[in-house]
Amino acid sequence: MAIPTLRGSSGTTTSHQIMSAPNLGLELPSPSALNPQTNELLHHYTTTLYASLAADCPHTVWCVTIPQLGLEHPFVFSAILALSALQLASMVPQRRQELHILALAQASSALPSFRTLMRRPKPENIHALFAFAASTVYYIMASPGQVDRCRLPSRNDEYPHWFQTMRGFMAWVGNHWVPLAEGPLGLLIHRKDNHQNHALKNPNDEQFAKLQGMFSSDRLSSNQLSERSVETCKEALEDLRQVAGLSYSSSPSVKSVAAGWVGQVSQEFVELVYERDPRALVILAHYCVVLKRQDHVWYQEGLGAGLLENIRQALAEEWLPWIEWAREQPVSTNQ
């Protein structure tokens, strides 16, 4: 997972979103370090799963370096097994319930150690914390829980939401950039090139540019929005145009690109999403187009289309024409 740099205006998101997720307050069996089930999951990770996580970095980072961290830090080992169980469940439907229980058990067993270390990261554990936090984002995006993973993020959501968890993760990465970039997982992060107009790479950029019409004087007069909020939405839209353009580049990978926008939008924009401001929701709907282009990625399957449908339901009828193009865009079935 390659992570672009974060803006200073990303808001007050902290490691709290990471430490509070996933919330698994269930009585689950304690996983054994080595048994036939965990051996199967480790084998699946080292032969199949790692390749879907490696993106555009050398596969040895996910296939060798992170498992080595797992040998030193049991909570990382549990995270590896939890993700492996989730992906295997998506590939072997007849074992879904069994594998979901295993995933929950492994994730639940890892959280106490992670939360304790996360409060005061040290040089000797910061790379393990990074590996676990990244896996938490994947876990929640693919979460098999009963709560709709495609729901709109809310300010006081009782359950972990991938949107906030990803923002918390990326804010934490930004706060520890130097030691992470210089460490064994440094190839997983990179800074976004802000010197190019990446929107030019997007053959559909005009559809994103049309959203500027939401800020016309006539429309604003009938839907009150402060000048600052208008600027907040315009900034988020411009950032999204750049991200949508980057998704047509060979590097960074489209998986990384989608993460970038969530982490760099301002907290003010996120608050507008919480308040269900129609302009913010329309912009978020067009972010779903980027997500739909990644539907072939196992932990994002159905995420873009599902979130877009929930946005449609939240919008008043007068705003639906603004998301018609986004709804018409197909999901990607190929890498």
pLDDT tens-place string over residues 276-319: 999 999 999 999 999 998 898 899 999 999 999 999 999 999 99
Quick one: pLDDT at residue 148? 87
Q: Is a pLDDT exceeding 80 seen at residue 29?
A: no
Instruction: Verify that 173 and 252 share a domain, yes or no.
Output: no
Decide if 6 contacts 174 (C-beta within 8 A): yes
Instruction: Verify that 209 and 77 share a domain, yes or no.
Output: no
Decide if 14 contacts 270 (C-beta within 8 A): no
Instruction: Give the mean pLDDT of 176-196.
Output: 85
Residue 17, both tokens: 């979103």
Instruction: Verify that 110 and 204 share a domain, yes or no.
Output: no
What is d(CA 145, CA 142) in angstroms, rounded to the nearest whole number? 9
- Number of domains composing the chain: 2
Quick one: pLDDT at residue 210? 96
Pick the range with the lowest mean pLDDT from 17-26, 82-91, 94-103, 236-245: 17-26
Instruction: Verify that 79 and 173 share a domain, yes or no.
Output: yes
- 3 - beta bridge partners? 189
Decide if 186 contacts 180 (C-beta within 8 A): yes
Instruction: Verify that 104 and 202 share a domain, yes or no.
Output: no
HSE-CB at 135 with a 13 A cutoff on CA atoms is: 32
Instruction: Verify that 131 and 156 share a domain, yes or no.
Output: yes
Quick one: pLDDT at residue 13? 43
Decide if 245 contacts 205 (C-beta within 8 A): yes
Query: Tokens 């190019």 — which residue?
Result: 196
SS3 content of the chain, % helix, strand, coil (to 5): 65, 0, 35
Instruction: Verify that 24 and 117 share a domain, yes or no.
Output: yes
Termini Cα distance of the chain:
16
Quick one: pLDDT at residue 248? 79
27 three-state secondary structure = coil
189 three-state secondary structure = strand
Quick one: pLDDT at residue 28? 41
Q: How confident is the model at residue 329 (pLDDT cuts 50, 70, 90)?
A: very high
Instruction: Verify that 172 and 264 share a domain, yes or no.
Output: no
Quick one: pLDDT at residue 187? 87
321: which DSSP letter? G
Instruction: Verify that 223 and 128 share a domain, yes or no.
Output: no
Query: Tokens 């000048």 — which residue?
Result: 227
Residues 6+ apart with CB under 8 A from 198: 241, 242, 243, 245, 246, 249
- Note the pLDDT tens digit of each residue in 93-102: 999 999 999 9
Quick one: pLDDT at residue 7? 36
- Domain of 97, in residue numbers: 8-188
Share of the chain above pLDDT 90, in %: 62
Instruction: Verify that 134 and 61 share a domain, yes or no.
Output: yes
Quick one: pLDDT at residue 81? 96
Omega within 30 of 0 (cis) for the link into 252: yes
Q: Does residue 205 form part of some domain? A: yes
Pick the range with the lowest mean pLDDT from 132-141, 190-199, 248-257: 248-257
Mean pLDDT, the chain, integer? 85
What is d(CA 283, CA 63) in angstroms, rounded to the nearest whole number? 37
HSE-CB at 132 with a 13 A cutoff on CA atoms is: 34
146-155, 161-170, 189-198: range with highest mean pLDDT: 161-170
CA distances from 133 to 34, 86, 130, 181, 322 (A): 23, 16, 5, 15, 35
Residue 274, both tokens: 């919480």
Decide if 278 contacts 244 (C-beta within 8 A): no
Decide if 283 contacts 233 (C-beta within 8 A): yes
Q: Does residue 48 form part of some domain? A: yes
> Which pTM value belongs to this model?
0.87
CA distances from 101 to 26, 27, 85, 292 (A): 11, 11, 9, 28
What is d(CA 173, CA 15) in angstroms, rounded to the nearest whole number? 9
Quick one: pLDDT at residue 217? 63
